Chains A and B, each alone.
Chain A
Amino acid sequence: QLQLQESGPGLVKPSETLSLTCTVTGASISRSTYYWGWIRQPPGKGLEWIGCIYYSGDTYYNPSLKSRVTMSVDTSKNQFSLNLTSVTAADTAVYYCARSGKYWNWFDPWGQGTLVTVSS
C-alpha cells in the first residue's frame, strides 16, 4: 500500500529556509509515471499548490512561490524534498506531500501533513 510521510522541523525562524522531506513507501518513485507534489494549508484557510516534481527532476512550481521554492528527488532513498527560502509568518501552514497525475489532475494519496510554524 502506497504511503507518504512528511518530515522536517516544526519551527523555522523568519528569513530562514524551510526544508521538508517526503518519504514514499509501497512504491518506487523512479518506477512510475506519476509526479510527486507539495501542497500547503495555512491554519483555517484553503489549500495552495506549491509544486510538483518528476523522478527525472523536472519541476513545476506555483508562480507566486517560484522565486523561493526548490524541489528535489532522491531516488536512492525514495524521497522527494521541498526547500522554501526567506520564510515569513505567511508561510506558516500544514505542508502535505502527495502523489500526482501527469497534469496535477489528481493527488492521491496524501501524507498526513506536518505543521510548520515560522516564528522567532
Chain B
Amino acid sequence: QSALTQPASVSGSPGQSITISCTGTTSDVGGYNYVSWYQQYPGKAPKLMIYDVSNRPSGVSNRFSGSKSGNTASLTISGLQAEDEADYYCSSYTSSSTLVFGGGTKLTVL
C-alpha cells in the first residue's frame, strides 16, 4: 500500500487560512469516509484533530475543519495562530482493511 500524498510544507501568516491536501485513490480516501487528521508537535505524540472526514473530537478548536472531494481530503485551519505550527498527518482506511498514513506536512506560521 502506498502512502497518501501530502505537501511537504505549507505556510501562512497569523489570522490567515491554510489548507493541507491529502490525496489517495478510490481504494482508500475516495472509497471511504474514514479519513483522519493528526497534529504532532516535535517530540510529542500525535493528537487527533479530525475523524471521519469532517468530525471534530471534543476539545478541538472549530478553527480546524475537514472535507473531501473524490480521492482528495483536505484539512483547513482558519484564523491561523502561532500554536498551530506543527506537523500534520492524514490517514485513511483502505479496501484491504488496513490503514495508510500520509507522509506528513510541516506547517509554518510566518
Contact = CB atoms under 8 A, between A and B. Distances in A.
Contacts of A113: 45
A49 B99 contact: yes
B100 interface: yes
A26 interface: no
A106 B104 contact: no
B93 A105 contact: yes
Interface string A99-115: 00101111111111100
Nearest to A97: B45
B101 A110 contact: no
B99 A104 contact: yes
A105 B103 contact: no
B81 to A, nearest CB: 22
A101 B34 CA distance: 10
Given A46-B3, A105-B34, A105-B36, A110 B99 contact: no
Contacts of A49: 91, 98-101
A11 interface: no
- The CB with the most chain B CB atoms within 10 A, among A48, A64, A104, is that of A104
A54 interface: no
A104 B103 contact: no
B84 interface: no
B68 to A, nearest CB: 13
Contacts of A64: 1
A46 B102 contact: yes
B93 A104 contact: yes
Nearest to A106: B51
A46 B104 contact: yes
Interface in B51-110: 51-52, 57, 89, 91, 93, 96-104
Interface of A: 39, 46-49, 52, 60-64, 96, 101, 103-113
